[in-house]
Amino acid sequence: MDKTTFAKPFGDMLKEKRRMRGLSQSGIAARSRRSLRCIQYLEAGKQEPTLSTLYALAHALDIRVSEMLEALPEELYKVYGEK
C-alpha cells in the first residue's frame, strides 16, 4: 500500500476525531507531544503516522488505536488474498 492510499483517509479520520472532541490542531499536538507541523501534515494526508505517533494520538484523543483503525475504510486494513 502506498502512502497516498493510507495517508489521506487517515488524515481525514484524524481531523474528524479531533474536531468531535473539540480540540484544535495545537491542542492535539500538545496532548500527543507532537509538533503542530506533524499534525498538519498528518491531517493533510502528506505524512503517515509512525507507530509511536499512532499510539500518542490515540492517547490524546482518549480512544483505542483499534478505534482509529476501524474508522478507516475497510480496504485499508483487511487482509488481502481473502475471499
Domain total for the chain?
1
Whether residue 37 contacts residue 75, with contact meaning beta carbons closer than 8 Å, is answered with no
Look up the CATH number of the domain holding residue 18.
1.10.260.40
pTM of the model: 0.85
What confidence score (pLDDT) does residue 17 get? 97
Q: Among candidates 31, 38, 35, which has minimal Cα distance to 56?
A: 31
**Phi, psi for residue 17 in degrees, rounded to 5:** -65, -40
Across the range 63-74, mean pLDDT stands at: 90
Judge whether 80 lies within some domain: no
> Per-residue confidence at 83, pLDDT binned at 50, 70, 90?
very low
Could you list the residue range(s) of the whole structural domain that residue 62 is in? 3-70
What confidence score (pLDDT) does residue 81 get? 45
Q: From CA 74, how far away is CA 44, in angstroms rounded?
A: 20
